[in-house]
């Protein structure tokens, strides 16, 4: 594998000195880019795109060809794992993901296999290998998975939900059944992320999109404890290099100390948490990733620069910050606004790193 030409993303995660604050965007390969829409259209549908390593590589690299981003993130979906468990994933136009066979009973949980990442999700590992080869050391590649709790919400509800009615009924009425499912998912996700690391992912992120809908006690028991189990089971070094792990719980700002105590390398922040507050609370233990409201990108480039400056100032001097949005980039953002965002981070962060290299 080629040596990294730009390693500031990995350095910042490890809190090592950097020249400027590194930046990438959640969902940076996606539907705000016209070239992505063209590739997806030629693939036929979303899952066909995910399952074609050459096309998955093409869309992973599209944002890097436009913007000087400091990391690539594998193009895939968090629901590949439940799909490989045989739940029949499909996408309704305008409705988002659905499962033909949702999990509703203890018998359903017992019948679930734990997928073999190479046999059942080999197309993801093939994509990782192709992307690493095509990147040729330009920037590091991030692998990812959904958290067990977040995956379980889709599997039990049968798709997206606003009220989490079915899974929360199970959580309070049949906690042992839900724990059994989450245990299987933790095993599956650990194996899946380790396979991504062995295929070439240089950092991994766990997306806990729906952890923030839980009460504090339920978050600890049904989400965080399983993410900690995964962190404990991950490969710590590959090719002589540490493999950083980012945990991101949307709306999880009240639990930062507990998240940092899992042993992760970095904590992802959404825009509801002030980054200076997060740094004061956990910045000596972990790196921080975040945390601009994605809707800022609808504003003028001038206003985007102002918001970037505010967040950089709030974080302050030194390394340990990976700039990102507080959630995925929206599909209606103009690509040139995303470009203005990336340039502003690099340009305006320089003074915060002088004297630290």
* Rounded average pLDDT over 295-307: 98
pLDDT digits over 117-174, tens only? 999 999 999 999 999 999 999 999 999 999 999 999 999 999 999 999 999 999 999 9
Full DSSP string of 170-210: HHHH-HHHHHHHHHHHHHHHHHHHHHHHHHT-SEEEEEETT
CA dihedral 84, 86, 87, 88 (to 10 degrees): 90
Q: Is 77 annotated as a binding residue?
A: yes
For residue 136, the 8-state DSSP code is T
Q: Is 29 annotated as a binding residue?
A: yes
22 located within any domain: no
Residue with tokens 């290998």: 129
Q: Determine the pLDDT at residue 355.
A: 74
pLDDT digits over 333-356, tens only? 999 999 999 999 999 999 999 976
Catalytic residues: 27, 31, 40, 77, 154
Q: Is 318 annotated as a binding residue?
A: no
162 located within any domain: yes
Q: Is 190 annotated as a binding residue?
A: no
Q: What is the Cα–Cα distance from 154 to 85, expressed in whole angstroms?
A: 13
8 located within any domain: no
Q: What is the Cα–Cα distance from 217 to 12, expressed in whole angstroms?
A: 32
Average the pLDDT over each of 20-29, 43-52, 181-190, 308-317 and give the range with the smallest value. Answer: 43-52
Q: Is 30 annotated as a binding residue?
A: yes
Q: Is 111 annotated as a binding residue?
A: no
Q: Determine the pLDDT at residue 356.
A: 62
Q: Determine the pLDDT at residue 93.
A: 72
192 located within any domain: yes
Q: Determine the pLDDT at residue 140.
A: 98
pLDDT digits over 71-96, tens only? 999 999 999 999 999 999 998 777 78
Residue with tokens 């409705």: 95
341 located within any domain: no
23 located within any domain: no
Query: Reduced to 3 states, what is the DSSP secondary structure of residue 265?
Result: coil
Domain that holds residue 140: 44-294
330 located within any domain: no
For 208-220, b where at least 16 C-beta lie within 10 A, e where not — what string?
A: bbbbbbbeeebbe
Q: Determine the pLDDT at residue 165.
A: 98
What CATH number is given to the structural domain containing 149?
3.20.20.210
Q: Determine the pLDDT at residue 96.
A: 85
Q: Is 209 annotated as a binding residue?
A: yes
Number of domains forming the structure of the chain? 1
Q: Which residues pair with 90 in a beta bridge?
A: 98
Answer yes or no: are the C-beta atoms of 75 and 60 closer than 8 Å: yes
In the predicted structure, residue 357 carries a pLDDT above the cut 60: no
User: Which of these, 254, 234, 321, lies nearest to 286 by C-alpha position?
Assistant: 321
Q: What is the Cα–Cα distance from 80 to 348, expressed in whole angstroms?
A: 38
Polymer length in residues for the chain: 357
169 located within any domain: yes
In the predicted structure, residue 194 carries a pLDDT above the cut 80: yes
CA dihedral 252, 75, 328, 117 (to 10 degrees): -20
């Amino acid at each position: 594998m080629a040596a990294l030409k730009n390693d500031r993303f990995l350095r910042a995660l490890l809190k090592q000195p950097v020249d400027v604050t590194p930046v990438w965007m959640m969902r940076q390969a996606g539907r705000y880019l016209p070239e992505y829409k063209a590739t997806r259209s030629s693939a036929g549908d979303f899952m066909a795109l995910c399952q074609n390593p050459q096309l998955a590589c093409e869309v992973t690299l599209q944002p890097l060809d436009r913007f000087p981003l400091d990391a690539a993130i594998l193009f895939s979906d968090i629901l590949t794992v439940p799909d490989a468990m045989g739940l029949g994933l499909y996408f309704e136009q305008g409705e988002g993901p659905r499962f033909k066979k949702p999990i509703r009973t203890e018998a359903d949980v017992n019948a679930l296999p734990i997928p073999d990442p190479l046999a059942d999700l080999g197309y993801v590992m093939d994509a990782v290998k192709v992307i690493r080869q095509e990147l040729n050391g330009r920037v590091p590649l991030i692998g990812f998975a959904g958290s067990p709790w977040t995956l379980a919400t889709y599997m039990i509800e049968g798709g997206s939900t606003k009220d989490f009615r079915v899974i929360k009924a199970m959580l309070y009425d049949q906690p042992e059944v839900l724990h059994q499912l989450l245990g299987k998912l933790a095993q599956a996700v650990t194996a899946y992320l380790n396979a991504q690391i062995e295929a070439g992912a240089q950092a991994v992120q766990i997306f806990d999109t729906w952890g923030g809908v839980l009460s504090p006690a339920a978050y600890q028991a049904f989400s965080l404890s399983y993410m900690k189990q995964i962190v404990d089971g991950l490969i710590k070094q590959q090719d002589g290099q540490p493999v950083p792990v980012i945990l991101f719980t949307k709306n999880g700002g009240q639990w930062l100390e507990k998240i940092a105590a899992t042993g992760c390398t970095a904590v992802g922040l959404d825009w509801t948490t002030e980054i200076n507050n997060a740094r004061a609370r956990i910045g000596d233990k972990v790196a921080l990733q975040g945390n601009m409201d994605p809707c800022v990108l609808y504003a003028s480039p001038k206003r985007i620069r102002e918001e970037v400056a505010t967040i950089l100032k709030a974080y302050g001097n030194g390394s340990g910050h990976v700039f990102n949005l507080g959630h995925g980039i929206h599909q209606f953002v103009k690509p040139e606004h995303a470009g203005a965002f990336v340039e502003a981070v690099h340009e305006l962060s320089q003074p915060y790193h002088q004297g630290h290299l």
